Amino acid sequence: MTPADAHLQIGSLLFEGLDQIDLTGPYEVLARIPDATYRVYGRTADQVRDVRGLRIAPDAAIADAPQLDVLHIPGGLGQEALMEDEAVLGWIRRQAAGAKIVFSVCTGALVCGAAGLLKGRRATTHWNSIHLLPFFGATPVDERVVVDDGFVFAAGVTAGIDGALRLAAMLRGEDVAQAIQLYMAYAPEPPFDSGDPKTAPAAVLAEARRAVADVTARREATARRVAARLGVAVG
Amino acid sequence: MTPADAHLQIGSLLFEGLDQIDLTGPYEVLARIPDATYRVYGRTADQVRDVRGLRIAPDAAIADAPQLDVLHIPGGLGQEALMEDEAVLGWIRRQAAGAKIVFSVCTGALVCGAAGLLKGRRATTHWNSIHLLPFFGATPVDERVVVDDGFVFAAGVTAGIDGALRLAAMLRGEDVAQAIQLYMAYAPEPPFDSGDPKTAPAAVLAEARRAVADVTARREATARRVAARLGVAVG
C-alpha cells in the first residue's frame, strides 16, 4: 500500500451514457482524500450526458492524464460501447499497469474485464450482470464490495459509495474515511428493503429483470465477443 | 397529492458551489419517476462547479423553467450566497407557491428558509447547521427525512437519496420507489458507524466541527441577517 505521506493521483473515467451516480457517489469521497489530486478524465475533453441526461464535463481528456495511483471506472449503459473501444481499453490497461488500485463500480467491472484485467480475479458488479463475469475469466462474488489484490469492486450503482469509503480507509486510514463519512452524513435509512434481489418483493424483481432483458442480452452478446478475443473459454 | 395519472414537472436547482451529491443522489431517483419531465435548472444556463470542482451543466436557466410540481433544492457551501440572492429566492418563492412538493437536501433547507418558506414548519438539515433552523422560524427535527405538508426535508448530504425515495413513493406509489431502489442496488453497507454525530468517534466529530467552524460562523451571521429581514425573533 501507498506510504501515508505520498501524494496520490486519483482519476475517474467519464464517458457518454454512464450512470452518473457510479461516478458522483465515489466523487464525494475521492474528492476529500487528503494529499491527493483528483480529476475526472473524459474520452475527450467534451461534456457528456449520463444515461438519464445529466450533463457532466471532465477536467481533462484521458490522453492528458498522468499515471494514476487510483483509477476509478464507473458503469452504466454506455459501458457497453467501451467494451469494444480499444482507445479506452488500452488507456485503462496502461493505467492499471502502473496504478496501486483499480476501483470499478457497477458494470465498470465489465469494462475492466474487456481490458483483460479480470482474469483469475474475484470480482463483483451489478446484480443484473454478475453472471457475465466469467466471460472475462473472473469468479463472481455476491458481495457489495470485493477487494482483490489491487482491485476494489463495488457492486451495483450506489455500492460505489461503500466501495469508495473502503478505499479511502485503505489509502489514508480509518480516521480519514470516518471523517468523510461523517461529513457526508452517510448513515443511510433506505425506506424499503428492496435494494437487493434477495430481499426485493418478487413482483418488483420480476418486472425489473423484464425491463432490462434487452440490455442484458446485448451485454451478454458483447461479453461473448470479448471472451473470444481474450481467449476465455466459457460454457 | 397528485393524481397518479398526471404528468409531473420535476426540477432541481443547480448553483455554483453546491455539494454535488445533494443533487446527484436525488437525481438517480427523480430521473426515474414515471410520467415526469425532469430537468436541472441553473441560475444561468452556464456550467457550474460543485464545492470540490465537479463540472455540471444545467438543462436550462431558472428563468426558462415551467411551473414545477416538484422543486428540489440541494445544499453545499454555495448555498450561503443564495441566501441573499433575491433573484433565486424570488424564483423559489414563486415556484413553491405553485408546487406540490418542495424537497430540500442538506443546507438547501437554509435556502428555503431564506426564501421565507420555513416559518412554522418542522424541518431538518445537515447536522452541522440544524441549530440555524430557528432563524427561519422553523422547528428543528433531528430525523433523517422530515415530511411536513408539502415539504420533504432530507438531512445531510447522502440523506437526499433516502428523501428522494420517500418522495418517489409519495408521488407514484411504493412499487415504483422499490423498483428504483432495486435498480440502484441501494442496500447500503456503510463501512463505519460514523455517518451521524451521535455514533461517530468523538475525536472524529470534534475535528469535523473544528474544520468547519469558520463556515458555521459565517452561515450563522447570514442566518441572523435573514432572520432580521424575515422578522423572525431569535434569542
- Which of B24, B165, B196 has the CB atom closest to A24's CB atom? B24
Supply the mean pLDDT for chain B: 96
- Which of B20, B159, B165 has the CB atom closest to A185's CB atom? B159
Q: Looking at this protein, which amino acid is placed at residue A95? A: Q
Task: Cell 464525494: give the residue.
Answer: A28
CA distance B209 to B213: 6
Element (H, E) at A16: none
Model pLDDT, residue B195: 96
Model pLDDT, residue B5: 62
Q: Which of B146, B56, B69, B144 is nearest to B102 (CA)?
A: B69
Cα→Cα distances B102→A98, A210, B171, Å? 47, 33, 12
Interface membership of A129 toward B (CB under 8 Å): no
ipTM of the complex: 0.95
**Tell me: the pLDDT tens digits for B94-105?**
999 999 999 999
Cβ-contact B161, B24 below 8 angstroms: no
CA distance B209 to B95: 34
Q: pTM for this one? A: 0.96
Interface membership of A31 toward B (CB under 8 Å): yes
Interface membership of A169 toward B (CB under 8 Å): yes
Cβ-contact B213, B198 below 8 angstroms: no
User: Do the Cβ atoms of A47 and B47 come within 8 Å?
Assistant: yes
Model pLDDT, residue B235: 62
Model pLDDT, residue A100: 97
CA distance A213 to A209: 6
Domains and CATH numbers, chain B: 8-230 (3.40.50.880)
Three-class SS string for chain B?
CCCCCCCEEEEEEECCCCCHHHHHHHHHHHCCCCCEEEEEEECCCCCEECCCCCEEECCEEHHHCCCCCEEEECCCCCHHHHCCCHHHHHHHHHHHHHCCEEEEECCHHHHHHHCCCCCCCEECCCCCCHHHHHHHCCEECCCCEEEECCEEEECCCCHHHHHHHHHHHHHHCHHHHHHHHHHCCCCCCCCCCCCCCCCCCHHHHHHHHHHCHHHHHHHHHHHHHHHHHHCCCCC
Cell numbers at B75, concatenated: 445544499
Model pLDDT, residue A224: 95
Cell numbers at B60, concatenated: 436550462
Q: A84 φ, ψ to 5°? A: -125, 25
CA distance A164 to A83: 23
Cβ-contact A101, A152 below 8 angstroms: yes
**Tell me: the pLDDT tens digits for B166-186?**
999 999 999 999 999 999 999
**Tell me: the pLDDT tens digits for A132-169?**
999 999 999 999 999 999 999 999 999 999 999 999 99
Element (H, E) at A98: helix A86-98
Taking CB atoms and an 8 Å cutoff, what residues of chain A touch B193? Answer: 187
Chain centroid to Cα B143, Å, comes to 14
